[in-house]
Structure 1
Amino acid sequence: MKKRLIYLDNAATTKTHPDVVSAMLPYFSECFGNPSSLYDLAAASRTAVEDARGKVAAAIGAKADEIYFTSGGTESDNWAIRGVATAHAKKGRHIITSAIEHHAVLHTCEALEKEGYEVTYLPVDESGRVRVADVLAAIRDDTILISIMLANNEIGTIQPIAEIGEIARTKKIAFHTDAVQAVGHIPVDVNSLNVDLLSLSAHKFRGPKGIGALYIRKGTRIAPFMHGGAQEKRRRAGTENVPAIVGLGAAIERAVALMPEKTDRILKLREKLIAGLGAIPASRLNGHPNERLPNNVNYIFEYIEGESILLLLNAHGIAASTGSACTSASLDPSHVLLACGIPHEIAHGSLRLTLGEETAEEEIDYVLETVPKVVQRLRDMSPLTPKELRSR
């Protein structure tokens, strides 16, 4: 008998859509030419790459020649930060970011600190929002880059990127946003956001893993990320992953087209889930109540461990997470929750549920039946649980 699976970890990755797979398949075995070659077979691959580039550009309001293909969000973040830092090293060595960024940003900044750069890690309020005034106050004469994510991967909070970008533009400072969790889920336009660089990744919106893009506004000074060939206008060498690039183009075009209809349905399910989990005693919703991704629900249940919740939910056929998939092997509490002012001992008990376009209302009903039982079972086992929260 097949085990039930309710997949609520779409922020970690999504199932590649069959239409996206179908679009990719010819480029594995039929149109397999290297785009850099000169014969007709290569031209077909080259045309497919440029067609996908145009689709990515159209999805975020950019020009096609401002889109550069990468291996995913992590590479895009690394390139944006290190590339700008390298290109502007003589002008200054100060970078501004936030305390709740993805580790692809934080670890890159930490690596640059070892090379003599200075990084200001901005605090956030209890909902995980960066204060625009804090950004302005942190700017120095030698500030060369500001990097603030569009939407947080753990708690779903959406940042005031347009306002921050306006400040950066006025001050003539390069501005990057990690939009990996946002693209394909909320409207994204690089011009209205006032960003110079933007990272995205296909597998967050039903595309394949291992492919992403970095938007680089024309005129932005940035050093190449990889050397060795003329691909991507000599900025990112290496033979193009044509099937994956085609998949990215198909997935982002599909995600944008379906966004209004999909978002409305998912929002209703999210609100039902938030209301139901909020009825559990000693629980709290993490992230901004309104300025958050439509598919994100992140709760803390006091007196228990998030890892224990996941194991028991898995036994009931529910796939969820405690936070970022990139830190799932760590026993440390979420750096995002700690930055929001949640105490260390409470931050351990977090649960992230991220919905997808295939999530059904019956599945949400089952989750709302199961989670309270799991939480109660774990609280009954915990010596930390106060008497009034025990069932016996």
Structure 2
Amino acid sequence: MVMVHLASNTSAPIKLSNISDFQSVPERYSEYVISALRKSGLVSAARGPGGGYYLNCSPESVKIGNILDAIEEEIKITRCDNDGIGCLKDQAQCKTHALWNDLGNYVKDYFGKISLSDVLNENFDISSRSSFDSNEHTYADYNSTAPISNSVKENTSYILSYETLNPSSVHQAGQKVHKILQDARDDIRSFICVAGNKEILFTSSATEANNLIMKGMREYVQVISAVEHPSIMRSANNPYIIPVDYDGIVNLLELEKTLYKLQGKKVLVSVMMTNNETGVIQPIKEIAQISHKFGAICHTDAAQACGKIDVNMEDLGVDLLTLSAHKMGGLAGAGALIFDKKLQIEPIITGGGQEKGLRAGTENVVAIASFSSAIEQIPELLGKANKIEELRDRLESEILKIADNAIIFGKDSDRLPNTSCICMPDVRSDVQLMAFDMNNIAISSGAACSSGRIEPSYVLLAMGATKEQAECSIRISIGWYTTYNDIEKIVNCWYNIYKNNTRLV
């Protein structure tokens, strides 16, 4: 009703008191609703005398489902639990459980189809609409790069009005920009609990940060896992490789044996917090403890983890940690390396004295500002994790109904709530990628592509997958904008690809 009121009066911003009067509700309640709508980017506040609020998007682009998500309004059809927990006293499911569950999903899909414009025009006839619009783009590749969030766009757009963007300049304009960098460091320090003995260094990406560690600490014997990101794999200096088990978890006994043999040497252990292909979460806290037990230092690449699960550097106990802005809704072009100040790292990009002499070149201020804005919304993103995990589990269960011999890699491990790495039996990943893309669905393959040929994923091979299984696997990574409608579309597309291609193999 608040959104309809704003959409009906677009000539000028509307004051909070007017909204409350129109809705006949207390002003504090309207303030709560408006605050939630602003955080989601649906509503903006007018600056200047008088103030007020206005719709931030066209009524046609705003679905009622978006509004309900913004105010975290849950849809409950009956007392029957929709989360898979039994509704009877012994936690068994009643006979009507599936019926109410399907009805609840139908209502969610209905709200996902009705726009604010439909409400204004009283157009609720969706009988002619298909269960999903095949022409509508569905994005399920969050692990490659997450969509830029509305709050990031809103909070960083003002920077483009600055006359100059060189934080190294000593004049007032330069110092004004320098404060943006310092604020970003403070936000990172606050939101992921970085202690005062740690330095925060900005780079162009997590890849550059990882290269800086591996190449800038060549005097260390380097120990890495068999499933690390290519930026670690390809920049490490003749590393010891620690295997993983079938679930993708690092073999801690092998790590201990390796570190025992290397006692007395300077050793760097690098294990990613979460795998970008499978979503498997590594026991980093335990890995750090084992590393320190044998006098080694420990690094973790948390680029895929931050914004999806809790990242607390102090609790993890690592000495170095890598982050990336665009994995959590910021702009590409900003990464961060956090490291203990006592460590000596040689720069790999030399020139000016930026970033304490460890990374020459003028900083990407706009991207770093987006980093700050993105990391500030971490509590909000983590609050959506359960809903995202519910969507992921629904996706996987529906696919296993279609083909019970499909493989979900890392299914029995702790995983990111948004990531599914799935083997479609006998259908190559390049065939799947093209078919999904033709149906306006963005997914990816974890495999490396060279000269037009997709190679099987070394991550899946390290987990014990056969070459054929690895060649038939894709990654579906969803996120905070994913809907039930998107899951339905992905599952239907997966089914059609499987049905149409398995006969051809």
TM-score after normalising by structure 2: 0.70
- For residues 230 and 59 of structure 1, the distance between their equivalents in structure 2, rounded to whole angstroms, comes to 27
How big is the shift at 1:28? 2.6
How big is the shift at 1:314? 1.4
Deviates more, 1:66-75 or 1:325-334: 325-334
Amino acid at match of 1:291: D
Structure 2 residue aligned with 1:120: 240
Could you say if the C-alpha distance between residues 10 and 262 of structure 1 is closer, same or farther in structure 2, counting changes exceeding 3 Å?
same
How big is the shift at 1:23? 2.2
Amino acid at match of 1:72: S
SS of alignment partner, residue 412 of structure 2: coil
Could you say if the C-alpha distance between residues 272 and 2 of structure 1 is closer, same or farther in structure 2, counting changes exceeding 3 Å?
closer
Give the one of 94, 114, 119 matched to 2:221.
Answer: 94
- For residues 26 and 290 of structure 1, the distance between their equivalents in structure 2, rounded to whole angstroms, comes to 43
Give the one of 345, 365, 369 matched to 2:492.
Answer: 369
Structure 1 residue aligned with 2:208: 75
- For residues 262 and 81 of structure 1, the distance between their equivalents in structure 2, rounded to whole angstroms, comes to 34
CA displacement, residues 5-51 of structure 1 (integer Å, 9 cap, x when unaligned): 11101101111112212322232332524211122111110111100
TM-score after normalising by structure 1: 0.89
Higher relative contact order (CA 8 A, sep 6+): 1
1:299-338 counterparts in 2 under 5 A?
Answer: 299-323=422-446, 330-338=453-461
- For residues 346 and 227 of structure 1, the distance between their equivalents in structure 2, rounded to whole angstroms, comes to 44
Give the one of 372, 391, 400 matched to 1:278.
Answer: 400
Structure 1 residue aligned with 2:158: 26
Could you say if the C-alpha distance between residues 136 and 292 of structure 1 is closer, same or farther in structure 2, counting changes exceeding 3 Å?
same
SS of alignment partner, residue 299 of structure 1: strand
Q: Does 1:244 align with 2:367?
A: yes
| Equivalent pair of 2:140/2:478 in contact (CA under 8 Å) | yes
Larger Rg: 2
CA displacement, residues 278-320 of structure 1 (integer Å, 9 cap, x when unaligned): 2213211101424100100111122110110111111122111
Could you say if the C-alpha distance between residues 249 and 121 of structure 1 is closer, same or farther in structure 2, counting changes exceeding 3 Å?
same
Give the one of 352, 357, 381 matched to 1:234.
Answer: 357
SS of alignment partner, residue 192 of structure 1: helix
Give the one of 306, 321, 336 matched to 1:213.
Answer: 336
Amino acid at match of 1:266: I
Aligned length: 368
Give the one of 234, 258, 263 matched to 1:107.
Answer: 234
CA displacement, residues 254-280 of structure 1 (integer Å, 9 cap, x when unaligned): 1x1213321011011011111111221
SS of alignment partner, residue 316 of structure 2: coil
- For residues 30 and 223 of structure 1, the distance between their equivalents in structure 2, rounded to whole angstroms, comes to 33
- For residues 19 and 284 of structure 1, the distance between their equivalents in structure 2, rounded to whole angstroms, comes to 37
- For residues 376 and 327 of structure 1, the distance between their equivalents in structure 2, rounded to whole angstroms, comes to 29
Amino acid at match of 1:158: I
Amino acid at match of 1:106: M
Task: Give the 4+ runs in structure 1 shifted more than 6 A.
Answer: 325-328
SS of alignment partner, residue 191 of structure 1: helix
- For residues 370 and 2 of structure 1, the distance between their equivalents in structure 2, rounded to whole angstroms, comes to 10
1:130-209 counterparts in 2 under 5 A?
Answer: 130-139=250-259, 140-141=262-263, 142-209=265-332
Give the alignment's Cα RMSD to 1 decimal: 1.9
- For residues 297 and 157 of structure 1, the distance between their equivalents in structure 2, rounded to whole angstroms, comes to 10
Amino acid at match of 2:243: P
Deviates more, 1:227-236 or 1:24-33: 24-33
SS of alignment partner, residue 235 of structure 2: helix
CA displacement, residues 122-141 of structure 1 (integer Å, 9 cap, x when unaligned): 11100111021111111113
How big is the shift at 1:3? 3.2
Could you say if the C-alpha distance between residues 28 and 63 of structure 1 is closer, same or farther in structure 2, counting changes exceeding 3 Å?
farther
SS of alignment partner, residue 487 of structure 2: helix
Which runs of 5 or more residues in structure 2 are unaligned?
1-132
SS of alignment partner, residue 444 of structure 2: coil
- For residues 2 and 331 of structure 1, the distance between their equivalents in structure 2, rounded to whole angstroms, comes to 27
CA displacement, residues 57-95 of structure 1 (integer Å, 9 cap, x when unaligned): 22221147621100111001111122222xxx2xxx521
- For residues 364 and 335 of structure 1, the distance between their equivalents in structure 2, rounded to whole angstroms, comes to 28
How big is the shift at 1:226? 2.3
- For residues 248 and 417 of structure 2, the distance between their equivalents in structure 1, rounded to whole angstroms, comes to 16
Could you say if the C-alpha distance between residues 308 and 302 of structure 1 is closer, same or farther in structure 2, counting changes exceeding 3 Å?
same
Which runs of 5 or more residues in structure 1 are unaligned?
114-118, 383-392
| Equivalent pair of 2:333/2:364 in contact (CA under 8 Å) | no
| Equivalent pair of 1:57/1:66 in contact (CA under 8 Å) | no
How big is the shift at 1:325? 7.4
How big is the shift at 1:366? 1.8
Amino acid at match of 1:261: G
Q: Does 1:263 align with 2:385?
A: yes
- For residues 449 and 153 of structure 2, the distance between their equivalents in structure 1, rounded to whole angstroms, comes to 25
How big is the shift at 1:365? 1.4
Q: Does 1:38 align with 2:158?
A: no
How big is the shift at 1:143? 4.8
| Equivalent pair of 2:268/2:298 in contact (CA under 8 Å) | yes
CA displacement, residues 336-355 of structure 1 (integer Å, 9 cap, x when unaligned): 11001111122111021101
- For residues 309 and 226 of structure 1, the distance between their equivalents in structure 2, rounded to whole angstroms, comes to 40
| Equivalent pair of 2:381/2:480 in contact (CA under 8 Å) | no
- For residues 324 and 37 of structure 1, the distance between their equivalents in structure 2, rounded to whole angstroms, comes to 43
Amino acid at match of 2:227: I
How big is the shift at 1:328? 10
- For residues 326 and 14 of structure 1, the distance between their equivalents in structure 2, rounded to whole angstroms, comes to 21
How big is the shift at 1:103? 0.5
Give the one of 177, 184, 192 matched to 1:52.
Answer: 184
| Equivalent pair of 2:447/2:455 in contact (CA under 8 Å) | no
Deviates more, 1:214-223 or 1:318-327: 318-327
- For residues 425 and 345 of structure 2, the distance between their equivalents in structure 1, rounded to whole angstroms, comes to 45
Could you say if the C-alpha distance between residues 287 and 330 of structure 1 is closer, same or farther in structure 2, counting changes exceeding 3 Å?
farther
How big is the shift at 1:253? 1.0
